[in-house]
Structure 1
Amino acid sequence: MTSKQAAYLVLNAGSSSLKFSAFRQQAASADLETLLSGQISGIGSSAHFAAKGADRRLLAEHRWDDKDSLCRDTLLQYVLRWVRATLVDDEIVAVGHRVVHGGLALGQPMRVSPQLLDQLDSLVPLAPLHQPHNLAPMRILAKNFPDLEQVACFDTAFHSSQPAIARSFALPQALTDEGVCSYGFHGLSYEYVTSQLLENRPDLAEGHVVICHLGNGSSLCAVKGGRSMDTSMGFSALDGVPMGTRAGSVDPGVILYLMREKKMGLEELEDLLYRQSGLLGVSGVSNDMQVLQASDDPRAQKAVDLFCFRVAKEVAALAASMGGLDALVFTAGIGENSPEIRALIAERLEWLGVKVDAAANRNREYYIAATDSKVPVFVIPTNEEMMIAKHTINVLGQTIGHA
């Protein structure tokens, strides 16, 4: 009987969704092969499972009633059973997890242990809307499959290379010492995109690069010599440019005003800043950039214009932060799929030497800079799940083999 090959499962658990992917390491290579991917959406209400193969064709679907949709244990075990039944030639030997917050101490992926879970629990106050959901599958797996190796990969880790001055707020030192500082997020995306850029353009290895991760959640990162030097998100995932439903940077005085004059409490403010603002709040139409671009509502156009204005402003700020701009990269849902948004941002950066070629941009090519652009401009699809799988293999010291 032929032995099964080692496969690696990646989980990205959110408040109402559980995304998953499976990978196999290719023989005689460090490259990974995507076997399948999918997600359970609607957790807590009407959970819906959908999975696709490597060719993006639908493999399976399943729905749960409202009662079963509340049980994360049931949903996760369904995913594991389905993956194992589908990958008949493979055996899941480890699971990698995306964890939003690793704090200041965790700058590298770590093997999951009871001690690490306790450490990550202590960071819940820094990411209360994300961290508990990231940790829940780890505990479920540890309870039901104690022999299955797990690795935690942190969205904050890539930014641990930033100089202290980039991470500091002008607050009393006692608060900084308690961890009230800039952490940055989307680090797994930035790490993957940086690796892809430097693999194809090694001449930029020591360059000043700004990466625009533009999606429903958006941020930008200044990368110099392949390392994060500054980023637009700070203490939380609320900071920086406007997002789908998040406000981005807001004068703190606005919060004080809303508390004092509008009598808004903590939960109301949290709901306003996380779920009612951003593209949705400005437009009153949608948080979806495609919907806004297709709309003839002037409020939708205002939301698009504000987004592009703030992204271009942030590019310039990050270029100043690291002392130059040798390349500009677009990634994530909007960054990869909207030629119009890329063009509008580039227009505002022409003074910095950024110009895109209309045809290359429209055709979504890898390199979209115009021939007379002083700054190379790229579109690089991100793959956070593959980055997590690579980290999982490296942490556990496992290579392709037979289980």
Structure 2
Amino acid sequence: MSNSIILVVNAGSSSLKFSVFRVNGAENLPLVIRGQMDGIGTRPYLKVRDANETMLVESDLTTSEAATVGDAITLVGAWLRERLQHESLFAVGHRVVHGGTQFSHPVLVDREVLMALEQLIPLAPLHQPHNLAAIRAIGERQPQIPQVACFDTAFHRTHPQIADLYALPWKYYESGVRHYGFHGLSYEYIALILPKMAPEIANGRVIVAHLGSGASLCALRAGKSIDSTMGFSPLDGVPMGTRPGALDPGVLLYLVNQCGLSGGELETLLYKESGLLGLSGISNDMRILLESQESRAQLAVEYFVHYTVKQIGALAAVLGGVDGIVFTAGIGEHSPVIRARILQACAWLGVSVDTAANERSDSCISSTDSKVSAWVIPTNEELMIARHTLALINSRKGGHVE
């Protein structure tokens, strides 16, 4: 088992993220390689780094070389085989955005599972098809390699039923219209590492802010998800890079009935043209907006902070108080400005920021006299997927990792 590796894949519409972990035991999975191919089908660009962040590959590819996710997997697979020719591929773990009501735990993929996951495409139309395309592509090329699907929705299955309901006729709930919550692999990792990073709050009431291009918040009680801001789809909750966050359904009726938008046009508007990009008219990148002097760019930033703070207040009410706030993901981990603005607006909760610690992005960024502690903890969804993959394969084999 010492030369075995696990490949973790996160496939999007025009990107393929991948990581390779070496199997050194049930708990020890050191990172070997991490990479990403962007611009699949348009301007493919591959970047790969090793565990020390040393750049191994940085190259443009032709459109014909990487026209589809399947092409990208073929290219990446060939490169990995050449690079890691003395390693044995143990299994492949995939991030799959939607597990619906059926999948509450990682699952070994077979034909029946794949068919069931295809039925969930309407619930995550911009994510699910590409997640499944990667599974199919690897299955066609290496059918002997076990593949494991790990779900962004699974961690939230601990919600009380009241948190998952919509006030619609009951038949819709029974047919699957409910709050699912997303970013579950990220929240699961934070919950797993909290006892080590912040033991004083690990068993308490914690709000985790996964703030990136996709953004959501989750209320944890003793490490379990109690409620979250994303609902039926990854569109709900706080504003995101290109997604609007919470929206009055009447707006959608107006856009369809009065503005004449089709279902496809509405989907494009909500997933690709709204959020920070729609408000600013400049960019979906928080770094660019923070540097801009344009009034709409500043307004987009203020809107993001305002609605994030609003959701923190809502989750604090659900938890009956807060012991800690954790920031993670791209913006959460790397933007002291956004963290400071959010925490200053949350002063009423009893949180006080240590400005110097926040500027350094220390693990703990609250002052020593703060009643509510604040933390910056990098997430690691890929490691979570690798751990789930290893555990599931070993449980099916009934054996132990050497």
TM-score between the two structures when normalised by the length of structure 1: 0.96
Q: Which amino acid aligns with 1:24?
A: R
Shift of 1:4: 6.0
Q: What do residues 347-403 of structure 1 show as CA deviations (whole Å, max 9, x unaligned)?
A: 1100011111000000100001112211011100001001000000110117554xx
| Aligned position for 2:9 | 11
Q: What do residues 226-278 of structure 1 show as CA deviations (whole Å, max 9, x unaligned)?
A: 11010000001110001011111111111111122211111221111111111
| Aligned position for 1:121 | 118
Q: Which amino acid aligns with 1:48?
A: Y
Q: Which amino acid aligns with 1:237?
A: P
Q: How does 1:3-402 map to 2 (within 5 A)?
A: 5-26=3-24, 30-397=27-394, 400-401=401-402
Mapped to 2, the partners of 1:20 and 1:156 lie a distance apart of 20
Mapped to 1, the partners of 2:198 and 2:341 lie a distance apart of 25
Instruction: Answer whether contact 1:5 1:400 (CA < 8 A) is retained.
Output: no
Instruction: Answer whether contact 1:84 1:92 (CA < 8 A) is retained.
Output: no
Moved more, 265-274 or 243-252: 265-274
Instruction: Answer whether contact 2:2 2:23 (CA < 8 A) is retained.
Output: no
Q: What do residues 276-310 of structure 1 show as CA deviations (whole Å, max 9, x unaligned)?
A: 11111111121111111111111111111110111
SS in 2 for 1:183: coil
SS in 2 for 1:342: helix
Instruction: Answer whether contact 1:393 1:399 (CA < 8 A) is retained.
Output: no
- Percent identity reads 49
Instruction: Give the unaligned 5+ runs of structure 1.
Output: none
Q: Which amino acid aligns with 2:338?
A: I
Shift of 1:312: 0.7
SS in 2 for 1:93: strand
Mapped to 2, the partners of 1:31 and 1:318 lie a distance apart of 34
Instruction: Answer whether contact 2:211 2:329 (CA < 8 A) is retained.
Output: yes
Instruction: Answer whether contact 2:120 2:128 (CA < 8 A) is retained.
Output: yes
Instruction: Answer whether contact 2:290 2:298 (CA < 8 A) is retained.
Output: yes
Q: Which amino acid aligns with 2:132?
A: L
Q: 1:324 to 1:4 in 2, by over 3 A?
A: closer
SS in 2 for 1:244: coil
Moved more, 103-112 or 253-262: 253-262
Q: What do residues 17-60 of structure 1 show as CA deviations (whole Å, max 9, x unaligned)?
A: 11000001335x71221100101111121222221111112112
Mapped to 1, the partners of 2:85 and 2:201 lie a distance apart of 42
Shift of 1:196: 1.1
SS in 2 for 1:151: strand
Mapped to 1, the partners of 2:70 and 2:286 lie a distance apart of 34
Moved more, 53-62 or 341-350: 53-62
Shift of 1:80: 1.3
Instruction: Answer whether contact 2:211 2:330 (CA < 8 A) is retained.
Output: yes
Mapped to 2, the partners of 1:244 and 1:146 lie a distance apart of 37
Instruction: Answer whether contact 2:94 2:150 (CA < 8 A) is retained.
Output: yes
Instruction: Answer whether contact 1:346 1:355 (CA < 8 A) is retained.
Output: yes
Shift of 1:67: 2.8
Instruction: Give the unaligned 5+ runs of structure 2.
Output: none
Instruction: Answer whether contact 1:4 1:89 (CA < 8 A) is retained.
Output: no
Mapped to 2, the partners of 1:175 and 1:75 lie a distance apart of 39
Q: How many residues end up aligned between the 2 structures?
A: 398
